[in-house]
Amino acid sequence: EAGVAQSPRYKIIEKRQSVAFWCNPISGHATLYWYQQILGQGPKLLIQFQNNGVVDDSQLPKDRFSAERLKGVDSTLKIQPAKLEDSAVYLCASSITGGAGTEAFFGQGTRLTVV
């Protein structure tokens, strides 16, 4: 079974530029999560989709971050404009149903450096 695919693996941009990350979850998984993991911290949930609807985006900085999940499969996370404090690893995860005692499968993440 293929895992969660993310691209790119690494990205370096200047502040105020824009960047986009892509995620392809495990086939058949209804729930997709985007997490931000700052060095030395645990993953912080940014947004959770159930199929193509948003379940929770309470911690997404909506003035600069946006995310979409087209047709309930692939997802993109965009930052525009980027700030220095956005430097982090962005992890995508998926699960069959979402919570309720189901495990989340993570991709390798995209390491973003904002200079």
Partner 1 sequence: SQKIEQNSEALNIQEGKTATLTCNYTNYSPAYLQWYRQDPGRGPVFLLLIRENEKEKRKERLKVTFDTTLKQSLFHITASQPADSATYLCALDMSGRGSQGNLIFGKGTKLSVKP
If you write DSSP's letter for every residue of 67-105 in order, what string do you get? EEEGGGS-EEEEESS--GGG-EEEEEEEESSSSTT---E
Which of 65, 79, 98, 112 contacts partner 1 by CB under 8 A? 98
Which of 2, 28, 70, 103 contacts partner 1 by CB under 8 A? 103
Which of 7, 18, 41, 80 contacts partner 1 by CB under 8 A? 41
Q: How far is CA 84 from CA 54, 95, 111, in A?
A: 27, 31, 13
- Residue for token digits 């941009």? 13
> Which residue number, 15 or 44, has a Cβ lying nearer to partner 1?
44
- Segment interacting with partner 1 (CB under 8 A) among 12-20, 33-41, 66-74, 80-88: 33-41
